[in-house]
Each structure stands twice: as C-alpha cells, then as structure tokens.
Amino acid sequence: MPPETTFYMILAFAAYLGLLGAYVGSLFWRRASLKRDSEALREMQAELERKP
C-alpha cells in the first residue's frame, strides 16, 4: 500500500502552476507596460512635430 502523500502532490502542482502562472502574468504586464510607453512616446513625438 503506497503512503498517503496526496496533500504534498497537490501542494507541489500548485507551486508549479503558480510559479508558471506568475511568470506568464509578468510577461503580460510587461507587454502592456511597453505598449503604454510606446503609445505615450508616439503622442509626445506627434505633439513636438506640431510645434512651430
């Protein structure tokens, strides 16, 4: 009869998916942040070009 270690299995998979999910989330967050920066810089550039 194998020992009862289901709790540790659940904990290990939660850690695995949690760490992976956190990293994927950080990629999304960094992408959104870069897109926002790019958009702001484009607007700033356009405004500077409009100035005489």
By CB under 8 A, residue 48 contacts another protein: yes
CB of 4 to another protein, least distance (A): 6
Backbone φ and ψ for 50, nearest 5 degrees, come out as -75, -25
- Report CA-CA distances (Å) from 2 to 5, 6, 9, 36: 9, 11, 13, 53
How far apart (Å, rounded) are the C-alpha atoms in residues 32 and 10? 32
Q: Please tell me whether residue 50 binds another protein under the rule CB under 8 A.
A: no
What is the binding site for another protein (CB under 8 A)?
Answer: 2-6, 8-9, 11-13, 15-16, 19-20, 23-24, 27, 30-31, 34-35, 37-38, 41-42, 44-45, 48-49, 51
